[in-house]
């Protein structure tokens, strides 16, 4: 379908926002500024990441707890299998449940850099996200989201085995998947078709990442296609952060506009704790503050 003009988008979408736990007081202020600015867009949930190697356990928990205390937003706490026994994960899950947190994003996690990039399960821990989902569901009736990879997880033996793995995570009790960022709408729609053919009916929300540094995106994009138009769009902006941020918001909104044309109505934004870009993208999609 031809993508509608921004001006014609009615804003009949629902959004969710991902944040990371702050490391300093200044970053905490930036995060809360972002949460406060984005809250009126009434996200269906806001998620808080868990640092590589489980390094932010306390900070993730504190951030989620503050969202519960001070806002009416639905928080989703990311939780990984890295460097934790099943008993430790059960304890964290119980704490969240007691604090009223019902939505978790269950991940295997990326290994700590000290492990040289290879995931080594904790001797008494979970080996993969599907087992983590099963363990969490056995504990409490959580609403669980999991990760999906339209362009295949870098460690997967094949695209099919990666899709089988996504199905296992959903069959274990997860309710939806959120994708790794991507820039090719074709890659996303092909993946949705394959997922449907594999019997997956759960929503697969596109994870939208505005480009902050094109060089960093290229480094992080192991399997992610970077379309030629994007290369041309960011050409010459490496040392111009201001224009780059503006172009980046428009590029991400344009990606969403094309997803919208293909029927997508739920969008998940990697905000990197910055309100402006996420707000501008939502605005271009026709979303306006409510209440």
Q: Verify binding: residue 250, ligand FAD, rule CB under 6 A.
A: no
- Active site annotation includes 276: no
Whether the CB-CB separation of 81 and 52 falls below 8 Å is answered with no
Helix 129-139 crosses helix 159-171 at what angle (to 10 degrees)? 0
Rounded least distance, CB 175 to ligand FAD, Å: 14
> How many helices and strands in the chain, by DSSP H and E?
10, 9
Closest to 265 measured CA to CA, from 210, 178, 203 = 203
Nearer to ligand FAD, 61 or 153 (CB): 153
Distance CA 182, CA 227 (A): 10
CB of 7 to ligand FAD, least distance (A): 31
Judged by CB under 6 A, the chain residues 205 through 244 that form the site for ligand FAD are 207
Q: Given the complex with ligand FAD, which of 176 and 258 has the nearer CB atom? A: 176
CB of 109 to ligand FAD, least distance (A): 4
Q: How far apart are CA 46 and CA 221, in angstroms?
A: 24
Contact with ligand FAD (CB under 6 A) among 35, 93, 178, 284: 178
Using the rule CB under 6 A, is 170 a contact of ligand FAD?
A: no
Binder among 80, 185, 248, 271 for ligand FAD (CB under 6 A): 80
199: left (phi over 0), alpha (psi -120 to 50) or beta: left
Q: Which 29-58 positions form the footprint of ligand FAD (CB under 6 A)?
A: 49-50, 52
89-118 positions binding ligand FAD, by CB under 6 A: 105, 107-110
Among the listed ranges 21-29, 89-97, 155-163, 189-197, the one in contact with ligand FAD (CB under 6 A) is: 155-163
Q: Work out whether 162 is an interface residue with ligand FAD (CB under 6 A).
A: yes
Q: Which of 27, 156, 246, 261 binds ligand FAD (CB under 6 A)?
A: 156
Task: For CA atoms 22, 253, 214, 245, give the dihedral sign.
Answer: negative
- Rounded Cα gap, residues 152 and 163, in angstroms: 8
Q: Using CB under 6 A, pick the residue from 124, 160, 161, 175 that binds ligand FAD.
A: 161
Check if the beta carbon of residue 64 is closer than 8 Å to that of residue 96. yes
Compute the Cα dihedral for 33, 38, 42, 48 and give only its sign: negative
Q: Is residue 180 a contact partner of residue 151, using CB atoms and an 8 Å limit?
A: yes
**Residue 93 or 107 having the CB closest to ligand FAD:** 107
Contact status, residue 256 vs residue 263, Cβ threshold 8 Å? no
Q: Nearest approach, Cβ of 163 to ligand FAD (angstroms)?
A: 8
Residues interacting with ligand FAD, by CB under 6 A? Answer: 49-50, 52, 78, 80, 105, 107-110, 128-130, 147, 153, 155-156, 161-162, 165, 169, 178, 180, 207
- Catalytic residues, by residue number, are 18
């Amino acid at each position: 379908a031809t993508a509608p003009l921004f001006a014609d988008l009615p804003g009949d979408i629902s959004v969710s926002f991902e944040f990371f736990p702050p490391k300093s007081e200044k970053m905490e202020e930036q995060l809360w500024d972002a949460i406060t600015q984005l809250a009126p867009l009434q996200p269906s949930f806001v998620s808080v990441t868990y640092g590589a190697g489980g390094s932010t356990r306390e900070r993730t928990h504190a951030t989620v707890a503050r969202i519960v205390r001070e806002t009416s937003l639905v928080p989703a706490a990311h939780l990984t299998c890295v460097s934790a026994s099943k008993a430790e994960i059960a304890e964290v899950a119980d704490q969240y449940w007691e604090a009223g947190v019902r939505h978790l994003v269950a991940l295997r996690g990326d290994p700590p850099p000290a492990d040289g990039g290879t995931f080594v399960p904790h001797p008494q821990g979970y080996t993969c996200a599907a087992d983590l989902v099963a363990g969490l569901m056995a504990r409490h009736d959580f609403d669980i989201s999991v990760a999906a990879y339209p362009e295949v997880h870098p460690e997967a033996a094949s695209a099919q085995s990666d899709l089988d793995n996504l199905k296992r995570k959903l069959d274990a009790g997860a309710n939806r998947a959120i994708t790794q960022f991507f820039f090719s709408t074709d890659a996303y729609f092909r993946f949705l078709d394959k997922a449907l053919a594999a019997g997956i009916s759960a929503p697969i929300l596109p994870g939208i990442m505005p480009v902050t540094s094109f060089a960093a995106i290229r480094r992080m994009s192991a399997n992610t296609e970077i379309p030629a138009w994007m290369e041309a769009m960011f050409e010459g902006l490496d040392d111009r952060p201001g224009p780059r941020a503006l172009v980046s918001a428009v590029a991400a909104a344009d990606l969403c506009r094309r997803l919208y044309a293909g029927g997508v109505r739920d969008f998940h934004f990697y905000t990197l704790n910055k309100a402006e870009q996420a707000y501008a993208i939502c605005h271009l999609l026709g979303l306006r503050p409510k209440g």
